Chain A
Amino acid sequence: MTTVATTTPRVEPANIQVFRVYINAPAERIWQAISSGELSGKYGYGGTIEADLQAGGDYRHKASAQMLQMGLPAVVVTGQVIESDPPHRLVHMWNPIWNDDPDTRLTWEITTGSNGLSCVTLTHELLGAVATAAEVAGGGDPENGGGGWPWVLSSLKTYLETGDVMPGSGG
Protein backbone atom coordinates (compact mmCIF):
# COMPACT_ATOMS: atom_id res chain seq x y z
CA MET A 1 0.00 0.00 0.00
CA THR A 2 1.31 3.43 -0.82
CA THR A 3 0.30 6.69 0.72
CA VAL A 4 0.19 10.08 -0.84
CA ALA A 5 3.49 11.65 0.11
CA THR A 6 3.16 14.96 -1.66
CA THR A 7 0.71 17.72 -0.97
CA THR A 8 -2.79 16.88 -2.10
CA PRO A 9 -4.22 19.72 -4.12
CA ARG A 10 -7.24 21.30 -2.58
CA VAL A 11 -10.12 21.22 -5.02
CA GLU A 12 -11.49 24.44 -3.61
CA PRO A 13 -11.65 25.98 -0.15
CA ALA A 14 -14.61 24.51 1.70
CA ASN A 15 -17.91 26.37 1.90
CA ILE A 16 -18.24 25.36 5.52
CA GLN A 17 -15.14 25.25 7.67
CA VAL A 18 -15.12 23.98 11.23
CA PHE A 19 -12.43 24.65 13.82
CA ARG A 20 -12.20 23.39 17.37
CA VAL A 21 -9.86 24.19 20.20
CA TYR A 22 -9.87 23.15 23.86
CA ILE A 23 -9.01 25.95 26.23
CA ASN A 24 -8.41 25.68 29.94
CA ALA A 25 -10.46 28.76 30.79
CA PRO A 26 -14.05 29.50 31.80
CA ALA A 27 -16.60 30.03 29.03
CA GLU A 28 -17.22 33.60 30.23
CA ARG A 29 -13.63 34.57 29.57
CA ILE A 30 -13.69 33.07 26.08
CA TRP A 31 -16.96 34.87 25.42
CA GLN A 32 -15.40 38.14 26.50
CA ALA A 33 -12.44 37.55 24.17
CA ILE A 34 -14.54 36.88 21.07
CA SER A 35 -17.32 39.41 21.59
CA SER A 36 -15.77 42.56 23.03
CA GLY A 37 -12.72 44.76 22.77
CA GLU A 38 -11.39 43.92 26.21
CA LEU A 39 -9.13 41.08 25.10
CA SER A 40 -9.32 41.27 21.31
CA GLY A 41 -5.93 43.01 21.17
CA LYS A 42 -4.26 40.06 22.90
CA TYR A 43 -4.63 37.37 20.28
CA GLY A 44 -5.01 36.83 16.53
CA TYR A 45 -4.33 39.92 14.47
CA GLY A 46 -5.36 42.20 17.30
CA GLY A 47 -7.59 45.21 16.84
CA THR A 48 -10.81 45.91 18.70
CA ILE A 49 -14.05 43.98 18.48
CA GLU A 50 -17.22 46.01 19.04
CA ALA A 51 -20.46 44.09 19.12
CA ASP A 52 -23.98 45.05 20.10
CA LEU A 53 -24.89 41.64 21.49
CA GLN A 54 -28.51 41.30 20.41
CA ALA A 55 -30.17 40.00 17.26
CA GLY A 56 -29.74 42.66 14.59
CA GLY A 57 -27.00 44.44 16.53
CA ASP A 58 -23.87 45.76 14.84
CA TYR A 59 -20.64 43.79 14.80
CA ARG A 60 -17.41 45.46 13.82
CA HIS A 61 -13.73 44.74 14.11
CA LYS A 62 -11.66 47.90 14.31
CA ALA A 63 -8.15 47.98 12.90
CA SER A 64 -5.07 47.68 15.08
CA ALA A 65 -2.32 50.30 14.81
CA GLN A 66 -0.39 47.90 12.58
CA MET A 67 -3.36 47.41 10.27
CA LEU A 68 -3.80 51.18 9.98
CA GLN A 69 -0.12 51.48 9.09
CA MET A 70 -0.68 48.91 6.34
CA GLY A 71 -3.28 51.26 4.90
CA LEU A 72 -6.39 49.41 6.05
CA PRO A 73 -9.40 51.52 7.07
CA ALA A 74 -10.55 52.05 10.67
CA VAL A 75 -13.10 49.21 10.48
CA VAL A 76 -11.76 46.05 8.85
CA VAL A 77 -14.64 43.61 9.41
CA THR A 78 -18.31 44.48 9.46
CA GLY A 79 -21.34 42.36 10.22
CA GLN A 80 -24.48 41.90 12.19
CA VAL A 81 -25.30 39.84 15.25
CA ILE A 82 -27.80 37.07 14.46
CA GLU A 83 -27.97 35.30 17.80
CA SER A 84 -26.39 35.92 21.18
CA ASP A 85 -26.66 33.52 24.09
CA PRO A 86 -23.80 34.40 26.44
CA PRO A 87 -21.48 32.67 27.16
CA HIS A 88 -22.36 29.69 24.97
CA ARG A 89 -23.45 30.67 21.52
CA LEU A 90 -22.79 33.64 19.29
CA VAL A 91 -23.79 33.84 15.63
CA HIS A 92 -22.82 36.83 13.56
CA MET A 93 -22.05 37.86 10.01
CA TRP A 94 -18.37 38.48 9.32
CA ASN A 95 -17.48 40.46 6.25
CA PRO A 96 -13.85 41.48 5.79
CA ILE A 97 -13.74 44.73 3.86
CA TRP A 98 -10.55 43.77 1.98
CA ASN A 99 -12.37 41.05 -0.01
CA ASP A 100 -15.15 41.60 -2.49
CA ASP A 101 -16.95 38.44 -1.34
CA PRO A 102 -20.54 37.52 -0.44
CA ASP A 103 -21.40 37.80 3.29
CA THR A 104 -20.00 35.07 5.51
CA ARG A 105 -21.34 33.80 8.82
CA LEU A 106 -19.62 32.71 12.03
CA THR A 107 -21.10 30.48 14.72
CA TRP A 108 -19.20 30.27 18.00
CA GLU A 109 -20.16 27.45 20.35
CA ILE A 110 -18.59 27.25 23.78
CA THR A 111 -19.15 24.37 26.18
CA THR A 112 -17.35 23.67 29.41
CA GLY A 113 -16.75 20.17 30.75
CA SER A 114 -16.88 19.16 34.40
CA ASN A 115 -13.06 19.36 34.48
CA GLY A 116 -13.21 23.09 33.68
CA LEU A 117 -11.89 22.65 30.17
CA SER A 118 -13.84 24.65 27.58
CA CYS A 119 -14.43 23.48 24.04
CA VAL A 120 -14.66 26.22 21.44
CA THR A 121 -16.14 25.26 18.07
CA LEU A 122 -16.12 27.84 15.33
CA THR A 123 -18.16 27.17 12.19
CA HIS A 124 -17.55 29.53 9.29
CA GLU A 125 -20.11 29.48 6.48
CA LEU A 126 -18.49 30.83 3.34
CA LEU A 127 -20.71 30.01 0.40
CA GLY A 128 -19.22 31.74 -2.63
CA ALA A 129 -16.71 33.67 -0.52
CA VAL A 130 -13.73 32.05 -2.23
CA ALA A 131 -11.03 34.56 -1.27
CA THR A 132 -12.13 34.71 2.37
CA ALA A 133 -12.44 30.91 2.55
CA ALA A 134 -8.86 30.48 1.36
CA GLU A 135 -7.60 33.01 3.91
CA VAL A 136 -9.41 31.76 7.01
CA ALA A 137 -8.39 28.14 6.32
CA GLY A 138 -4.85 29.17 7.31
CA GLY A 139 -1.72 27.23 6.55
CA GLY A 140 0.14 30.29 5.25
CA ASP A 141 2.64 32.57 6.93
CA PRO A 142 0.93 34.15 9.95
CA GLU A 143 3.13 37.23 9.66
CA ASN A 144 1.71 37.94 6.24
CA GLY A 145 -1.87 37.43 7.31
CA GLY A 146 -1.95 33.75 6.34
CA GLY A 147 -2.58 32.25 9.77
CA GLY A 148 -6.32 31.91 9.40
CA TRP A 149 -8.55 30.64 12.19
CA PRO A 150 -6.13 27.84 13.26
CA TRP A 151 -3.50 30.44 14.14
CA VAL A 152 -6.00 32.88 15.64
CA LEU A 153 -7.54 30.17 17.87
CA SER A 154 -4.11 28.90 18.92
CA SER A 155 -3.15 32.40 19.99
CA LEU A 156 -6.45 32.75 21.88
CA LYS A 157 -5.65 29.53 23.74
CA THR A 158 -2.12 30.67 24.54
CA TYR A 159 -3.29 34.02 25.87
CA LEU A 160 -6.15 32.70 28.00
CA GLU A 161 -4.10 29.85 29.46
CA THR A 162 -0.80 31.60 30.08
CA GLY A 163 -1.55 35.33 30.07
CA ASP A 164 1.19 35.71 27.48
CA VAL A 165 0.53 37.05 24.01
CA MET A 166 1.67 34.44 21.49
CA PRO A 167 4.68 35.79 19.53
CA GLY A 168 3.53 37.60 16.41
CA SER A 169 -0.09 37.88 17.53
CA GLY A 170 -2.14 40.66 19.11
CA GLY A 171 -1.80 44.37 18.55
Chain B
Amino acid sequence: MVTYGHPVHDDDLVFKALADPIRRILLDALYERSGRTLGDLENVVNLVTEMTRFGVAKHLRLLEAANLVITKKSGREKLHYLNPVPIQQLHRRWIGKYTEQHASALLDLQTELENES
Protein backbone atom coordinates (compact mmCIF):
# COMPACT_ATOMS: atom_id res chain seq x y z
CA MET B 1 0.00 0.00 0.00
CA VAL B 2 1.33 3.39 -0.93
CA THR B 3 0.14 6.73 0.37
CA TYR B 4 1.34 10.04 -0.89
CA GLY B 5 0.90 12.33 2.06
CA HIS B 6 -2.85 11.77 2.01
CA PRO B 7 -3.61 9.22 4.72
CA VAL B 8 -6.09 6.75 3.33
CA HIS B 9 -8.25 4.83 5.76
CA ASP B 10 -6.86 1.36 5.55
CA ASP B 11 -7.20 -1.68 7.80
CA ASP B 12 -3.47 -2.47 7.53
CA LEU B 13 -2.49 0.94 8.84
CA VAL B 14 -4.99 0.69 11.69
CA PHE B 15 -3.89 -2.79 12.74
CA LYS B 16 -0.23 -1.76 12.58
CA ALA B 17 -0.95 1.34 14.61
CA LEU B 18 -2.78 -0.71 17.24
CA ALA B 19 -0.03 -3.34 17.40
CA ASP B 20 2.25 -1.20 19.57
CA PRO B 21 1.78 -0.84 23.36
CA ILE B 22 2.93 2.81 23.42
CA ARG B 23 0.43 3.71 20.74
CA ARG B 24 -2.31 1.96 22.68
CA ILE B 25 -1.33 3.98 25.76
CA LEU B 26 -1.62 7.13 23.64
CA LEU B 27 -5.06 6.10 22.37
CA ASP B 28 -6.23 5.31 25.90
CA ALA B 29 -4.94 8.68 27.07
CA LEU B 30 -6.86 10.43 24.28
CA TYR B 31 -9.96 8.37 25.02
CA GLU B 32 -9.74 9.48 28.61
CA ARG B 33 -9.31 13.10 27.56
CA SER B 34 -9.19 14.21 23.95
CA GLY B 35 -7.52 17.40 22.68
CA ARG B 36 -4.05 17.09 24.29
CA THR B 37 -0.67 18.60 23.49
CA LEU B 38 2.45 16.63 22.63
CA GLY B 39 4.02 17.67 25.96
CA ASP B 40 1.00 16.37 27.84
CA LEU B 41 1.11 13.04 26.00
CA GLU B 42 4.86 12.81 26.53
CA ASN B 43 4.19 12.97 30.29
CA VAL B 44 1.57 10.23 30.04
CA VAL B 45 3.96 7.90 28.22
CA ASN B 46 6.77 8.66 30.66
CA LEU B 47 4.64 7.44 33.54
CA VAL B 48 5.03 3.99 32.00
CA THR B 49 8.34 4.06 30.17
CA GLU B 50 11.14 6.48 29.40
CA MET B 51 10.73 8.04 25.99
CA THR B 52 11.86 11.26 24.36
CA ARG B 53 9.43 13.80 22.96
CA PHE B 54 10.73 12.87 19.53
CA GLY B 55 9.84 9.22 20.12
CA VAL B 56 6.32 10.10 21.26
CA ALA B 57 5.87 12.40 18.25
CA LYS B 58 6.87 9.54 15.95
CA HIS B 59 4.20 7.29 17.45
CA LEU B 60 1.63 10.06 17.11
CA ARG B 61 2.50 10.48 13.44
CA LEU B 62 1.80 6.78 12.84
CA LEU B 63 -1.52 7.11 14.63
CA GLU B 64 -2.31 10.13 12.48
CA ALA B 65 -1.41 8.24 9.30
CA ALA B 66 -3.85 5.53 10.36
CA ASN B 67 -6.51 8.25 10.87
CA LEU B 68 -6.81 7.30 14.54
CA VAL B 69 -5.54 10.69 15.68
CA ILE B 70 -6.43 14.10 14.26
CA THR B 71 -4.43 17.21 15.06
CA LYS B 72 -5.91 20.66 15.19
CA LYS B 73 -4.33 24.01 15.89
CA SER B 74 -5.72 25.89 18.84
CA GLY B 75 -3.97 29.23 19.19
CA ARG B 76 -0.27 28.40 19.41
CA GLU B 77 -0.89 24.83 20.47
CA LYS B 78 -1.33 21.73 18.38
CA LEU B 79 -3.93 19.50 19.99
CA HIS B 80 -4.34 15.78 19.38
CA TYR B 81 -7.81 14.29 19.15
CA LEU B 82 -8.88 10.67 19.11
CA ASN B 83 -10.78 9.71 15.95
CA PRO B 84 -12.95 6.68 16.75
CA VAL B 85 -14.27 6.24 13.19
CA PRO B 86 -11.63 3.74 11.93
CA ILE B 87 -12.12 1.63 15.06
CA GLN B 88 -15.85 1.59 14.40
CA GLN B 89 -15.20 0.44 10.83
CA LEU B 90 -12.69 -2.16 11.98
CA HIS B 91 -15.18 -3.43 14.51
CA ARG B 92 -17.86 -3.70 11.87
CA ARG B 93 -15.57 -5.43 9.40
CA TRP B 94 -13.54 -7.72 11.68
CA ILE B 95 -15.23 -8.16 15.03
CA GLY B 96 -18.99 -7.62 14.86
CA LYS B 97 -19.31 -10.11 12.04
CA TYR B 98 -17.78 -12.94 14.06
CA THR B 99 -19.22 -12.15 17.46
CA GLU B 100 -22.72 -11.87 16.00
CA GLN B 101 -22.52 -15.44 14.72
CA HIS B 102 -21.12 -16.51 18.04
CA ALA B 103 -23.91 -14.79 19.92
CA SER B 104 -26.63 -16.21 17.70
CA ALA B 105 -25.14 -19.72 18.03
CA LEU B 106 -25.35 -19.37 21.81
CA LEU B 107 -28.93 -18.15 21.53
CA ASP B 108 -29.78 -21.19 19.37
CA LEU B 109 -28.19 -23.46 21.95
CA GLN B 110 -30.14 -21.77 24.71
CA THR B 111 -33.43 -22.22 22.84
CA GLU B 112 -32.61 -25.84 22.15
CA LEU B 113 -31.75 -26.58 25.77
CA GLU B 114 -34.81 -24.79 27.04
CA ASN B 115 -37.05 -26.70 24.67
CA GLU B 116 -35.58 -29.99 25.85
CA SER B 117 -36.49 -29.39 29.48
Residue numbers of A with Cβ under 8 A of B are: 1-4, 8-11, 14-22, 113, 115, 117, 119, 121, 123, 137-139, 148-151, 153-154, 157
Chain B residues with CB under 8 A of A16: 34-35, 81
Inter-chain residue pair count (beta carbon < 8 A): 71
A169 to B92, CA, bound (A): 13
Q: Of A22, A148, A154, which is within 8 A of B92 by CB?
A: A154
Chain B residues with CB under 8 A of A3: 21, 24-25, 48
Known A-B contacts A3-B25, A17-B34; A22 and B87 likewise in contact (beta carbons under 8 Å): no
Contact yes or no, B31 A20, CB < 8 A: no
Contact yes or no, A20 B48, CB < 8 A: no
Contact yes or no, A139 B84, CB < 8 A: yes
Chain B residues with CB under 8 A of A14: 33-35, 81
16 sampled A-B residue pairs with Cβ under 8 A: A3-B48, A8-B31, A8-B32, A9-B32, A11-B33, A15-B35, A16-B81, A18-B70, A18-B81, A18-B83, A21-B9, A21-B85, A113-B6, A119-B6, A138-B88, A150-B87
Whether B104 is near chain A, meaning CB under 8 Å from some CB there, is no
